[in-house]
Amino acid sequence: MFSKLEQKVTLGGLSESTLINYGRCIAKISLHFNTPAVELEEEQINGYLFDLMKGESPSKSYFKHTVYGLRYLFRIYDRADKAIKLPSLKRETPLPVVLSTNECRQLFNTSKMLKHRILLCLIYSAGLRLKEVRFLQQRDIDFDRMQIHIRKTKYRKERYVPLSPLMAKGLKKYYEAYKPKVYVFNGKKMDSPLSARGVQWPMREAVKTSGIAKPACVHTLRHSYATHLLEYGMDIDTVKSLLGHAHLSTTIVYLHVARIPRTEKFSPFDRLYEGLQG
């Protein structure tokens, strides 16, 4: 069952994390009833989902992955009758946590180790996702054209983002000190990428040491990048392109947190003849 799920998820272009989350949830419900999930009765599934919701510490993400995983599984096995009966989930869209420019400076100055400081600065300077910075290779940093080629993207849609001149100086200093191989940030082995924890830990420590009260994580730097670009006057379509979003609706959320100066209301007719003589 898992091999078929893996095949469909991979061919469907979904991420590895999606496969892991779906697979884990489907395995748990199968083990719970000692029956393949695709053969479970509606009453069994409903009882299991009810227990998840009413548990001592219900996890919304685990409940969501269970429902989506089962729905995907039933679709694979042409059991749409069961998929339809699964509960519909309301999408929660909380506003992203964003650091101010002062908080960003405070965060970066807190990191004492050069590697950690460059890592966090690069994530913010290019709006990188955690996976993108982990698999970023030295060949992707173009110092001549001053751009970064991002390949390991969420939607498998490669993109280029500008390389900040200030960031370029920092990277060269880092290269000279650490002499990385292949990847910009090596893992424990010189030819392996940095682990997810290897990115999360320095961010977590920097937030704690800096005294920033916001619940900031690695992705907060990407949120801050997008919000600050809008506040500095960049148009939202360009921001969408730099972030690698598939849909503009995903980028629009940053308009709700960006502090963009508002102009007084006026009619375009008032501006139509400005500057004309006579």
Rounded CA-CA distance 236/243 in Å is 10
154 counts as catalytic = yes
**Annotated catalytic residue: which of 71, 117, 222, 228?**
222
65 counts as catalytic = no
**Annotated catalytic residue: which of 129, 134, 223, 228?**
129
183 counts as catalytic = no
DSSP notation for 114-159 = HHHHHHHHHHHHHT--HHHHHT-BGGGEETTTTEEEE-S-TTS--E
254 counts as catalytic = yes
Rounded CA-CA distance 232/204 in Å is 27
139 counts as catalytic = no
106 closest CA partner among 210, 205, 215: 210
**Annotated catalytic residue: which of 154, 159, 175, 178?**
154
What is the bridge-based pairing of β-strands 147-150 and 159-162? antiparallel
Q: If 0-12 CB within 10 Å is exposed, 13-18 middle and 19+ buried, where does residue 236 land?
A: middle
219 counts as catalytic = yes
- SS3 for 276? coil
8 A C-beta contact, residue 117 and residue 125: no
Rounded CA-CA distance 112/115 in Å is 9
Q: If 0-12 CB within 10 Å is exposed, 13-18 middle and 19+ buried, where does residue 53 land?
A: exposed
8 A C-beta contact, residue 106 and residue 172: no
Q: Which residues are catalytic?
A: 129, 154, 219, 222, 245, 254
